[in-house]
Amino acid sequence: MKEGRARLILPFAILGAILAVSTASIFIRFAQREAPSLVIAAFRLTFASLILAPIALTHHRAELRALTRRELLLALLSGVFLALHFATWITSLEYTTVASSVVLVSTSPLWVALLAPLVLRERLTRPVLVGMLLALTGGVVIALSDACVWQNGLACPSLAEFMKGKAFLGNFLALAGAWMVAGYLLIGRRLREKMSLVPYIFVVYSIAAIALIVIMFASGETPLGYSPMTYVWMLLLALIPQLIGHSTYNWALRYMPAALVAVTTLGEPIGSTILAYFILREAPTWIKLGGAGMILAGIWLASKAETKSRSED
């Protein structure tokens, strides 16, 4: 696709990607009624890879054979980051709410900006630091809202009890998922400069699928024995949020900076929270909404500053 035409349809493609990825947490929650999180993650990437395989191996075989050792190593690293992202984030949905999980996992633009000095040789600016502080404060607010209750005043558990709580574990896993996706996006930006979309996502998704299958069996989980509907939820997870949503983000990496692509994922918490409210009956508290607003504002501020500084270089 010519670059001019691609940039023309970018806004519509990104909107479609946001709508697609917003369904992920809902499909995961339905699948988690029977299947463990690691099984869901493994099937998500396995189904996606198998669907891509006929296209990649018939129409892009020459490009796949032409990959250099460095490109293969980068793809391997990117796939591992993606596998760890799904392993941690999907597991987080067992312990915390959809709203908390998707907001915290969407902090990836902050970590992209933080890693920019190491990966892209860019310095951290004051707006980036302010944005990070704002988002960190929002994260603390969300964590407290999951642990504290209002009983004639705000009553919170001790630090030791708080760190042992289910919500704390879920929120931490979601945050770890954000760290992993930041590495995945930074590496993907470098690879997508030379690779076309289908070979790139086929290689990276396949590596992630293999890594997740290894993790699944190492954890003692089995891919067999679930109801047909559970496999349908996992197939939908591969088709809609993965192949439509994530693949559109990967396509956009060729035309947009990694930080800017990461910023577009800020729509996911909004879409997922709305869907969770109507489908799962999960109503976020005002405190949680306030913390989410602080995180999103901090990410927007930091990512806007990071993208502006890159465009000026």
pLDDT number for residue 197: 86
Question: What's the rounded Cα separation, in Å, for the pair 253 and 208?
Answer: 19
Question: What's the rounded Cα separation, in Å, for the pair 285 and 151?
Answer: 15
pLDDT number for residue 169: 86
What's the mean pLDDT in 49-77? 93
- Angstrom CA distances, 130 to 23, 103, 127, 133, 299, stand at 31, 18, 5, 5, 10
Higher pLDDT, 262 or 20: 20
Residue for token digits 């705000």? 154
pLDDT number for residue 111: 80
pLDDT number for residue 271: 79
* Cβ atoms 234, 34 nearer than 8 A: no
Listed in sequence order, the residues at least 6 apart from 293 whose beta carbon sits closer than 8 Å to its beta carbon are: 138
pLDDT number for residue 293: 81
- Structure tokens, 175: 């945050």
Q: Is the pTM of this model over 0.85?
A: no
- Angstrom CA distances, 293 to 99, 104, 176, stand at 12, 11, 20
Maximum Cα–Cα distance across the chain: 68
Higher pLDDT, 147 or 117: 117
Q: Residue 264 pLDDT more than 70? A: no
* Cβ atoms 298, 110 nearer than 8 A: yes
- Residue 168: CB atoms within 10 A of its CB come to 18
DSSP string, 8-63: HHHHHHHHHHHHHHTTHHHHHHHHTTTS-HHHHHHHHHHHHHHHHHHHHHHHSHHH
- Angstrom CA distances, 153 to 65, 145, 149, 157, stand at 64, 13, 8, 13
What's the mean pLDDT in 60-68? 92
pLDDT number for residue 262: 66
Mean of the per-residue pLDDT values of the chain? 82
